Structure 1
Amino acid sequence: MEILFNTLKALKIPTIIFINKVDRVGANCNKVFKEIKNGV
């Protein structure tokens, strides 16, 4: 996945990320948002 996102970024292709199943027990939304922001 990281290669895909790096390619999209290099080609300046707008990208939308959908986050699913955040309503489940044990889901950590803040962790997911930080990982997306930091490119992990």
Structure 2
Amino acid sequence: MTKITHFWAFFTFVAFSLGLSNCRTVKNGLDEKIYNG
């Protein structure tokens, strides 16, 4: 059971990190579009 819990904790952490970096990338892309007109 502990292995599964650790797996899900790690998986959630990775997914959360990827989500944050994706949001940042999208935001930067939108900012560039606005700046470049």
| TM-score computed with the length of structure 1 as normaliser | 0.31
**Does 1 or 2 have the higher relative contact order (CA < 8 Å, sep 6+)?**
1
Normalised by the length of structure 2, the TM-score is 0.33
Q: Return the structure number with greater helix share.
A: 2
